[in-house]
Structure formats: C-alpha cells, structure tokens
Amino acid sequence: MSVLSGKKILIGVTAGIAAYKTAALVRLFIKAGAEVQVIMTPAAKDFVTPLTLSTLSKRPVYSSFVDEEDENAVWNNHVDFGMWADLILIAPATANTLSKMASGASDNLLLATYLSAKSPVYFAPAMDLDMYNHPSTHATFSKLQSFGNIMIPATSGELASGLVGQGRMAEPQSIVTFIENDILCKLPLQGKKVLITAGPTYEAIDPVRFIGNHSSGKMGIELAKTAANRGAEVVLVLGPSALSVTHDLITLIPVVNAEEMYAAVVKNYDNCDLAIASAAVSDYRPKHVEAQKIKKTAADFSIALERTPDILKWMGSVKKDQFLVGFALETEHEEKNAIKKLKSKNLDLIVLNSLNDKGAGFKEQTNKITLINHKLETKAFDLKTKSEVAEDIFDEINLLKNE
C-alpha cells in the first residue's frame, strides 16, 4: 500500500504542453489509492481536455468559479477545495502561474484555491530552457520555497521548442515517487520498527474445541495501520481473526495459540523500537490436548489447566531501549488494576478500557480508553472509532518519547 493511499490530492493543471502528462499522473495517484480532484486554468483546456481528466479521476473537473452556461450554477468554492486537499500538486507549473503564486495574484479558480490551501503544496515547473534559467524564474522558485512550497525540479531533455536542456516537467512516475518519498521522510516513525500483538489466542482442547475469547483483533490492526502510515516498519503478530490487513510496511505473522505468539514476539522483540501488546492472550491452556474429539458423557467433565507464557511480563523483564505499551481490559477496579499491571510488567504506558463502557471492548467498531503512563499520569478520552483511538495512542507515545 502506498503512503498516498486514502490521501485527497488536488492537481492544478496550467497551460503548458506538459499538461498531456497529467492524464498519466491522475491514473498513478488513483492506482496508489488516492482521491484526485483536478482544477485547471482556463487556458490549460487548450492542452488537455477536462473530459479526459474527469473520466480518469471520476470527479468533475473545474476551471472557473461558476458555470457561465448555467444561470442556476452554484459557486465553486475555492476555500472548500483548499480545505479538502491533503496535498496540492501544481503540474505542469508554468512560469506565468508560478509568478502569480509568488506575488499573491488570484485571477482564476486554481490560484484562489492555492491561496486558500491548508495542506502542503508541491509544484513541478515546466517551461522552455531560457525561461527556466531566467533570473526572475529562479527568484520565483526561491520565494515559493520560502513559503514552504515544495519544488519538484524539472529535468533535462528535448523541449517543445526543439532546444535541449533543463525545463522538462518531471515524468509522472518520478513525481509520484518524489511525493511519496517526501512524505515518508517527514513521518514521525520513519525508520522505526514497531512490534504489535493483536487478536485472541485459541488453546486447543481436542481437534474440535478450544479455549479462547471474543477479541476480533481490530484494535491491534488499526494500531498497525496507524504505525505504518506514520512511516514505521511494522511486525503484526495476529491471532485467529476474520480480519486482515495489507500494507507495504506491515509484515503479518499469523499465529493460533499463546506459545506461537510468544515465539514470534521473542524472535522480533530485540530489534524493535516500540512494542504494543494489544492481543487478548489466553492465560491458561489445557494441560493435555486430546488427540481425538472428546465424546459427551452423562457425567460432569473437567479439564486441568496450566499457565500460558506471560508474553508481556517477559517483554518488560528483558526490555532495553524499547518503549513498551500494554492493554488492560477490566470489569472492576479498573484504574487500580491497570496501574498494578503497568508496574508489574515494567510498562511505559498502559491503555485501559472497561467492559462497563458502552461501545468499548471486543468486537466493537469503537473504543473508550484511558491512558496511564509510567509517571501514573492519566488521560481519559471520549468514545471514538478504533482508528481514531489508534491515532490518540500514537500521539501520546510521541509526546512521552519526546519528553
């Protein structure tokens, strides 16, 4: 999965011959899982048709504040466009448009949207050799970059005029790669390795039956996705679950029982920077597993149980520089029990949730948590989706690690 997956990308197309490359750009962003909105300058329509870009983006293409052919047309709000986008890309970016961006001119919808932008703005210059090398153009580049805009340098090659030199807009794949790499290098967990356990464990009684719990693994999966989207390399050790996850930065290790989960954690723990134990691990397992299905009898039946490996306690006991996070799902004396677990397992942070809170716990799409750190400082959150809860947890981890 690309780091662009789920991103809302606004592409601004200006009046340069390189506008023909925009069709390929739109396709690449869509393939990466992004949503794409195209805004064109009026003159850009002479180089590539709105119909082409609308078909590829599956969205209307806009080039003016109103549709002058429709007397009932609704105003195309540049502020809404600017707030919608997670990032804006001006490609091709002509000398004319770039100079207007630098001076604050706002004589078309694209420029007004640029001035309303709340997100990072990338621009890919495209112009002839002498225009590209002109001192005023370089002054424009410098000014735009001083505003925080990010330049995707033009390449050298044969230009529309027949001259050979710098001024060619970067190729679509190169632009996409540039943006992906730029986003990745700025992510807070870039270069970090994160180990996450998730889901239940099933402890076999016989070939048919097992001891388990109601955990779906959703909270752990959301944590893994959040970590990966923040740039981390993630190892997700997932117990039996109907859910799964696909992401370029997530390595999924499926396990069934506590012993298998323990082995996977031991193998990966030493190399991680951060570990989150969100799995609902069975505390006990049958002492003897029957080779054949146990037949029902008239008499009562009992099973001898033994302890499973205490994975989190082991992680805390051998912890070096890892930041270790545990979970506590409680039904009574919630905070007292969570603090006891925080101390006994040598954790840096514990995530407390209670089955007494409506919408929290197993198989829910939501969760309600309280975070308790190693200083015993608490922070309570309202009921949120599990993806939002994952963001809150990583935000708190980031704060604690930067203290």
Cβ neighbourhood burial of 94 (10 Å; 0-12, 13-18, 19+): buried
- Cβ atoms of 183 and 167 closer than 8 Å: no
Closest CA to 313 of 272, 276, 351, 347: 347
For residue 20 the two structure tokens come to 């023909």
Q: Is 77 considered catalytic here? A: no
Distance CA 328, CA 323 (A): 17
The residue from 77, 96, 213, 337 that is catalytic is 213
Residue with tokens 């180990």: 195
Return the closest-CA partner of residue 24 out of 82, 77, 92: 92
Q: Kindly state the tokens that stand for 363.
A: 């198989």
Determine phi and psi for 173, rounding to 5 degrees.
-65, -35
Looking at residue 52, its amino acid is T
| Residue position matching structure tokens 């998730």 | 198
204: how many CB neighbours lie within 10 A of its CB? 16
Which spans in 148-207 are helix H? 172-185
Q: Residue 299: helix, strand or coil by DSSP?
A: coil
Q: Which of 290, 289, 288, 283 is nearest to 307 (CA)?
A: 283
Among candidate residues 317, 215, 309, the one with its CA nearest the CA of residue 260? 309
Do β-strands 210-211 and 150-151 pair in parallel, antiparallel, or remain unpaired? unpaired
**b/e per residue, 13-31, with b = 16+ CB within 10 A?**
bbbbbbbebbbebbebbbe
CB atoms within 10 A of CB 158: 10
Residue carrying the six token digits 């961006």: 101
Which positions are annotated as active-site residues? 213
